[in-house]
Amino acid sequence: MALKKKVGYKCRVAGVVFLLLAGIAALVTVAVIQNTLKSQEYGLEYGIVIDSGSSRSNVFLYDWPGEKENETGVVTETINCKVEGIAISGMKVNPQLDAETWKGFESCINKIKGIIPAEKYRTTPLFLGATAGMRLLHQRDEQKSNEIMESLREYLSSLPFNFQNASIITGQEEGMYGWITVNYLMGNFLEKNLWNNYVHPHGSKTVGSMDLGGASTQIAFQVEESGNGLDYLKVKLYGYHYTVYTHSFLCYGKNEADKRILDKIVQGSSNQYPIRNPCYPKGYNTTMVASEIYDSECTNKPKNYSPNQNLFMVGDPDSRKCGEIVKSIFDFKTCSSSQCSFDGVEQPPVTGDFKAYAGFFYLASALLLNGTSDLDQFNASVENFCNTHWTVLKEQKPWIKDKHLRTYCYSTQYALTLLADGYKFDKETWKNIHFEKSIKGTHIGWSLGYMLSLSNMIPSEVKEIPPLTNAVFAGLIFLFSALIIVTAVLVFIILVRMCY
């Protein structure tokens, strides 16, 4: 009798296990069917964005399924190709003089041709966006700027892709697209639910973005209400509305800020020779020609300026004095409202997390402060860097080229001033800054956000076999569940009878 009860117990357990395994198998089967039908139904679409910055150009290839989620394609970066040669703002509009840059473009385009199926060439949109370097050139020499852009349009329109446009984007656009990129990669706009469909994340918060380029810097973050001025933009993404504060500061990119700081040092040298530079490390000296500093719209040429004049500088480090010189390129006195950053620009208080990328990442990396830090730690690291001998710096940071390493004392001072005194990050909010180069292996920049926005213009590809809709998918789940229950009950009854 006891043996019979034991056997009966084992049979009931076997029945329950069977029920669970059958249920799991059915659910997995339906999910796989749903995912497979979707992936088979839609082919990949492609888009190309060329980011022509003040230092160089990069060609990005993106792809996304033919379907769209709430009017916006789900875009993924496929390749990021660096164009060898000079930035387009330095081009001479001469095929021979610009040969290296044109070869660089051709090399990247050939790589992309090898990825996109030939039958997709004509439907693949191609865009070029030029940023702060060309914005400055357009101010200085509009005719040359127009000639460069026209030569690029002529070249890009000759390619087998669907060339759309080549333009100089505004600083505000650059900031907004960077914000979109960051939040897209963070998953703050979309996430997949149990039914393998994209939905708006419940309770998700967006993060702010801060971009430090060569000629400009941008800040962008979501706000609850619009303030006064043009720095508040409304954008609709994946069916949801956002209000974003964004501002771009021209001439405050790293390279242009470097020139403005060196100008202050030269002007304050009182014709001393050599020029003692409190922002260069001890043991470092260099000779540069004046045009390296003053051939820019961001620096005012001194009296009796000679572009070929040699400027011999020696490192005479003084972190405090260097910090004062750095702060002198900002205007913290003129303010348009009670809430102000610098140079008379209104800015609401910074809130939430921020991703600081591009130049910010490389400066933090030089201080070994990638990711997050606190304000005192950052400040102490800057001072320690500025007081380190040149030979020691070279030994400690062999991955940084000399031409960049020599600038990092005043460049890190500059980032500290911009973030703390300019954007008003304090000891508490500084902890919310994350210095990052990429998110989930994808480069952070404006180009992905640009592609995400422009993909709204690309029609969805529709095949003959429709995917499982949410209603059909839910119906199948119900049907499978009912069948499982009936089958499990029958099997359980059979097992019990066999056991007894």
Digit-coded pLDDT (tens) for 140-166: 999 999 999 999 999 999 999 999 999
Q: Domain 254-439 is in which class?
A: alpha beta
For residues 312-325, average pLDDT: 95
Residue % of the chain over a pLDDT of 70: 79
The model's confidence at residue 14, banded by pLDDT at 50, 70 and 90, is low
Half-sphere exposure of 177 (CA within 13 A, CB side): 21
Name 38's Cβ contacts closer than 8 Å, sequence gap at least 6: 65, 67, 196, 467, 468
Q: What is the pLDDT of residue 75?
A: 82
For residues 217-232, average pLDDT: 89
Residues 248 and 471: their CA atoms lie apart, in Å, by 46
The model's confidence at residue 343, banded by pLDDT at 50, 70 and 90, is very high
Buried b (16+ CB within 10 A) or exposed e, 322-340: bbebbbebbeeeebeeeeb
* Cα angle 135-57-206, degrees, rounded to a multiple of 5: 75
The model's confidence at residue 427, banded by pLDDT at 50, 70 and 90, is very high
Assess whether pLDDT exceeds 50 at residue 359: yes
The model's confidence at residue 218, banded by pLDDT at 50, 70 and 90, is very high
Is 436 designated active site?
A: no
- Among the ranges given (29-43, 52-66, 351-365, 394-408), the one the predictor scored with the smallest mean pLDDT: 29-43
Half-sphere exposure of 451 (CA within 13 A, CB side): 30
Catalytic residue among 45, 69, 174, 256: 174
Residues 267 and 244: their CA atoms lie apart, in Å, by 40
The model's confidence at residue 16, banded by pLDDT at 50, 70 and 90, is low
Of 293, 295, 326, the C-alpha closest to 408 is 326
Assess whether pLDDT exceeds 80 at residue 328: yes
- Among the ranges given (281-285, 371-375, 416-420), the one the predictor scored with the smallest mean pLDDT: 371-375
For residues 334-357, average pLDDT: 91
For residues 322-340, average pLDDT: 91
Distances 272 to 144, 157, 376, 471 between C-alpha atoms, Å: 38, 54, 35, 80
* Cα angle 312-314-317, degrees, rounded to a multiple of 5: 150
Q: Residue 462 corresponds to which tokens in the numbers above?
A: 């529709």
Q: What is the pLDDT of residue 69?
A: 64
- Among the ranges given (262-271, 452-461, 484-493), the one the predictor scored with the smallest mean pLDDT: 452-461
Residue % of the chain over a pLDDT of 90: 63
ω before 274 within 30° of 0 (cis)? yes
Residues 404 and 362: their CA atoms lie apart, in Å, by 10
Q: What is the pLDDT of residue 19?
A: 53
Q: What pTM was computed for the model?
A: 0.82
9 vs 359, higher pLDDT: 359
233 vs 485, higher pLDDT: 233
Assess whether pLDDT exceeds 90 at residue 389: yes
Q: What is the pLDDT of residue 465?
A: 36
For residues 32-58, average pLDDT: 75
Q: What is the pLDDT of residue 31?
A: 52
Q: What is the pLDDT of residue 237?
A: 80
Q: Residue 343 corresponds to which tokens in the numbers above?
A: 């140079």
Q: Domain 44-206+440-457 is in which class?
A: alpha beta
Q: What is the pLDDT of residue 462?
A: 30
Q: What is the pLDDT of residue 193?
A: 66
Average predicted confidence (pLDDT) for the chain:
85
CB 417 within 8 A of CB 323: yes
For residues 367-375, average pLDDT: 91
pLDDT digits (tens, 9 = 90+) for 77-107: 999 999 999 999 999 888 888 899 999 999 9
Handedness of CA 17, 21, 22, 23 (dihedral sign): positive
Assess whether pLDDT exceeds 90 at residue 476: no
Assess whether pLDDT exceeds 80 at residue 464: no
